[in-house]
């Protein structure tokens, strides 16, 4: 059983099942077990943050965009305005590039990317890939917290190098807690998914918990800042409350886990200095209590420095998730379910 706040392994151990891998993919996996993936990823972060002379920098960015299939025209800033390739990776989008579908009760995709496994949380487990389950408690590093999601839903979203690298809230609320869990940095492609048991519970990650409020808080014109609206976080009827002597039952909210991967320099937050892939990093936790930052639906809360993965967990009775087939493309702001509160 992993210790609180620590992944089941925090080293580059090769003690993982490789049975599903064959041929070249198995050879690549074995090679990865020998490489210092975390150090390599930090080096990649430093390399992509290097500032090159203007013409060379613009050429580098345009070459990357062409090879990866990035839609440059969606970027808010011109190619000449980016001082490094890393700045281009973490680019902002022009206003209106990702309109939010539905109304305040519509759950929206928190990022660009593609659907991974999704469905119901049963017996404390979720699916990594078809036929391979992993434990919610291992992902969250908290047995009691994991139990609160039993009977709820989960969804996995993969970001590729061509995608918009910032991630946003799927609905309005406040982030009451965030935790940094150090660990390994396996790739989240087929090599990692098939070769590493509990991949998302092995890799470094940031776990944030979004408490849902009653009411509406939408983004204003231009989808950059919260517009008019208000959220009430007092106990109410419906999910998260019950009648009787015990009073209201506290809900952990939507768990949003931003998972790092090989060659992802770091995962960063917009509202706190906490980040992943810190050399000799140790577990960190912030409980914001009365100072919890409030977010409108679709508001930015973090950034990947290169593509990776979001795993979202919802408590039972609070969210209805419209799951899609694995590999289905999706865009930030696209409707993926509804809020029941």
Tell me the whole-structure pTM to 2 decimals. Answer: 0.85
Neighbours of 1 (CB within 10 A): 9
The structure tokens listed for 174 are: 């406040």
Residue 98 lies in a domain: no
Same domain, 180 and 37: no
Residue 9 lies in a domain: no
Residue 272 falls in the annotated catalytic set: no
Coil, strand or helix: which one is 25? helix
Residue 112 falls in the annotated catalytic set: yes
Q: What is the mean pLDDT of the chain?
A: 85
Same domain, 84 and 171: no
Same domain, 85 and 125: no
To which H or E segment does residue 200 belong?
A: helix 199-202
Quick check: 229 pLDDT over 50?
yes
Residue 204 lies in a domain: yes
Residue 78 falls in the annotated catalytic set: no
Q: What's the pLDDT at 227? A: 59
Q: Percentage of residues in the chain with pLDDT exceeding 70? A: 84
Same domain, 169 and 276: yes
Confidence of residue 252 (pLDDT cuts 50, 70, 90): very high
Confidence of residue 18 (pLDDT cuts 50, 70, 90): very low
Strand order in the sheet with 300-304: 166-168, 300-304, 267-269
| Among 7, 16, 112, 138, the one annotated catalytic | 112
Neighbours of 204 (CB within 10 A): 28
Q: What's the pLDDT at 11? A: 37
Average pLDDT over residues 5-25: 52
Are the CB atoms for 319 and 278 separated by under 8 Å?
no
Same domain, 123 and 208: yes
Number of structural domains (the chain) is 2
Average pLDDT over residues 101-117: 96
Longest dimension (CA), the chain: 70
Same domain, 63 and 189: no
To which H or E segment does residue 129 belong?
A: strand 125-129
Distances (CA, A) of 48 to 85, 116, 120, 140, 273: 5, 27, 39, 30, 20
Q: What pairing do the DSSP bridges indicate for beta strands 294-295 and 329-330?
A: unpaired
Average pLDDT over residues 117-122: 97
| Among 16, 165, 168, 272, the one annotated catalytic | 168
Quick check: 239 pLDDT over 70?
no
Average pLDDT over residues 34-59: 87
Same domain, 116 and 187: yes
Are the CB atoms for 223 and 286 separated by under 8 Å?
no
Domain ranges, residue 63? 23-89
């Amino acid at each position: 059983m992993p210790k609180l706040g620590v992944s089941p392994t925090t080293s580059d151990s090769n003690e993982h099942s490789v049975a599903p891998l064959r041929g070249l993919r198995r050879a690549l996996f074995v090679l990865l077990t020998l490489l210092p993936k975390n150090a390599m990823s930090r080096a990649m972060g430093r390399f992509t943050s290097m500032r090159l002379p203007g013409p060379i920098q613009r050429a580098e960015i345009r070459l990357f965009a062409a090879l990866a299939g990035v839609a440059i025209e969606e970027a808010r800033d011109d190619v000449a305005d980016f001082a490094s390739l890393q700045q281009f990776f973490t680019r902002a989008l022009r206003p209106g590039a990702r309109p939010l579908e539905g109304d305040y009760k519509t759950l929206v995709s928190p990022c660009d990317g593609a659907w991974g496994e999704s469905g119901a949380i049963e017996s404390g487990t979720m699916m990594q890939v078809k036929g391979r389950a992993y434990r919610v408690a291992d992902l969250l590093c908290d047995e009691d917290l994991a139990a609160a999601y039993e009977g709820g839903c989960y969804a996995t979203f993969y970001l590729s190098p061509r995608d918009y690298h910032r991630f946003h809230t799927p609905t309005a609320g406040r982030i009451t807690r965030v935790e940094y869990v150090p660990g390994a940095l396996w790739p989240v492609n087929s090599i990692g998914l098939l070769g590493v048991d509990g991949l998302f519970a092995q890799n470094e990650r940031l776990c944030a918990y979004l408490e849902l409020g009653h009411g509406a808080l939408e983004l204003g014109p231009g989808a950059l800042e919260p517009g008019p609206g208000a959220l009430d976080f007092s106990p109410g009827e419906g999910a998260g409350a019950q009648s009787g002597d015990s009073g209201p039952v506290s809900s952990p909210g939507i768990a949003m886990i931003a998972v790092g991967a090989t060659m992802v320099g770091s995962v960063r937050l917009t509202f706190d200095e906490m980040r992943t892939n810190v050399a000799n990093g140790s577990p960190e936790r912030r409980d914001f209590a009365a100072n919890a930052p409030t977010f409108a639906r679709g508001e930015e809360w973090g950034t990947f420095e290169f593509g990776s993965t979001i795993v979202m967990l919802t408590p039972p009775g609070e969210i209805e998730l419209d799951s899609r087939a694995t590999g289905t493309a999706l865009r930030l702001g696209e409707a993926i379910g509804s809020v029941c509160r």
